[in-house]
Amino acid sequence: MEKINFGLEIHQQLNTHKLFCNCDFYSGQETDFSILRQMRASAGEGGAVDIAALEETKTKKFIKYIAKKDKICLVELDDEPPHLPNREAMIYSAKIAKAFGMKVRKNVIFMRKIIIDGSNVSGFQRTALLATNGKIEVSFGNVGISNLFIEEDAAQIIGKDNGKRVFSLSRLGVPLIEITTEMFSATPSQIKGVAEKIGSVLRMSGFVRRGLGTIRQDINISVGDGKRVEIKGAQDLSQIEKIIGVEIARQKVLRNNLKSEVRQVIPDSTTRALRPISTRSRMYPETDIPIFTFSNEELADIQQYFLEDPETKHNRFKLLGLSDDLASQIIKSKDLFDFEDAIARFKNIEPKKIAEVFVNAKRDAQRKIEKDVISNNISCEKRQQIDNKYVLDVLELLDKKKIVFPAIVEILVKGNHQKFEKITGENLEKEVKKIMEKSKGKDETIMIKILMGEFRLRADFKDVLNIYNKFHQKI
């Protein structure tokens, strides 16, 4: 059988403000003005015109950009030079590189990559090689991670207006890391495994944005000694195996007539030709940005950075008593950091219970709130989101035995724990006896049901049963 070689390029947005200005990401649909620009291919400083760039100018001329006045500045419009690189984004990227065992460069030099499909107002994307030479351990061995670049994300294509392509400037300039693997040979399902593992390391760092469109995979594929084809824009990992299967079949059919090119994934998991693969003349130095240098303190801090391997973390959580399912859910969750914080802080609560609060109780409470919002006709914007700061406060009450576990969903819904304070000792005895007197003569199962209804959210039920057993003969 012929060897099939793959390489992955993973693009992931960082969770910071933009790379060369202080603006933040916002929703691409928000808009209150638009501008029109025209794109032209010009020679790079070496004098050569990139073929990829030339191809694109032939077809796409005027570009329309939409934006929101108070959400962007002159940097996105290319009317002001870029500010110095966002230090936080640079440090996050370096720490992620460290998590893949890469060598981080002390001096980072930004380059311009010509992009003239309109997705960059300036006609180029700023990009810098930040780290090299790492690896990731996967089910079938190690895969080399060759490079980590930090770059600015492109504008998002929204559609067409009178034949003009329309882009939103909402995400233009958001820091993006590009992680490239070495070419390796594997099965389509193993490729998916590699992409998944890289994605979970990124999420577990806590430095990255989450949700649809925040991570994108490109796949390089070549069959045997054939030409390399780059497949762009696989956003959904569940499509990967299908995309690869279709592409391998396409390459085998074309064989001698295969073009080395960039292809774009379309919704049915097939691809269409986008442009030729870029040449070196696509890149030239960015003279507006001075060389970025990590300080010795920053480099020492980066060297110290350690990120637990996802499987090691999973096994550790299982040893703490979490089920397989609960362990994977909490590892995938945005609440992972608060969960780890909580298990270190609250020693009187089983870690499994804490995980259940983050994974189940919080979700159930959120649903109840949303149901209330809908039945009371309150607009969606006013919908209350449960804050983890409050979840941690509630866990602290549980840790100090001031509330009981079954009350947590209600407390999260109400936003306070009045009416749910735990009753114990003589007070509980008095109240239980009172209810028992009132229901005198009822048979045992009914009596216990009544007591449960009364005390489930306010007392440890075994305390209630002990009191019941002590007194039920006498009443």
Closest separation between CB of residue 83 and Zn ion, Å?
9
In three-state secondary structure terms, 264 is strand
Dig out the tokens for 117 from the structure. Answer: 């499909």
How is residue 357 annotated by DSSP? I
In angstroms, what is the minimal distance from the CB of 23 to Zn ion? 3
Question: Mask of contacts with Zn ion, 67-106, x by CB under 5 A?
Answer: ------x-xx------------------------------
Rounded-to-integer distance, Cα 366 and Cα 357, Å = 12
What lies within 8 Å, CB to CB, of 378 at 6+ separation is none
Closest CA to 128 of 96, 92, 163, 176: 176
Handedness of CA 161, 162, 164, 165 (dihedral sign): positive
Give Cα separations from 195 to 6, 141, 347 (angstroms): 12, 14, 36
Identify residues 16-35 at the interface with Zn ion (CB under 5 A). 21, 23
**Which part of the chain contacts Zn ion (CB under 5 A), choosing from 66-74, 207-215, 232-240, 346-354?**
66-74
Distance CA 121, CA 63 (A): 9
DSSP 125-145: EEEEEEEEEEEEEETTEEEEE
Q: Is 428 in the site for Zn ion (CB under 5 A)?
A: no
The count of residues in the chain is 475
Asked if 285 and 109 count as a contact pair (C-beta separation under 8 A), the reply is: yes
Cα–Cα dist 132/128, whole Å: 12
Query: What's the CA gap between 115 and 39, in Å, rounded?
Result: 10
What's 263's DSSP letter? E
Report which of 219, 222, 246 is spatially closest to residue 234, judged by C-alpha positions. Answer: 219
CA 12 to chain centre: 8
Encode 92-129: b = buried (16+ Cβ within 10 Å), e = exposed.
bbbbbbbbbebebbeebebbbbbbbbbbbbbbbbbbbb
Give me the least distance between CB of 72 and Zn ion, in Å please.
5
Q: Would you say 86 or 181 has its CB closer to Zn ion?
A: 86
> Of 87 and 280, which has the nearer Cβ to Zn ion?
87
Residues that bind Zn ion (CB under 5 A): 21, 23, 73, 75-76
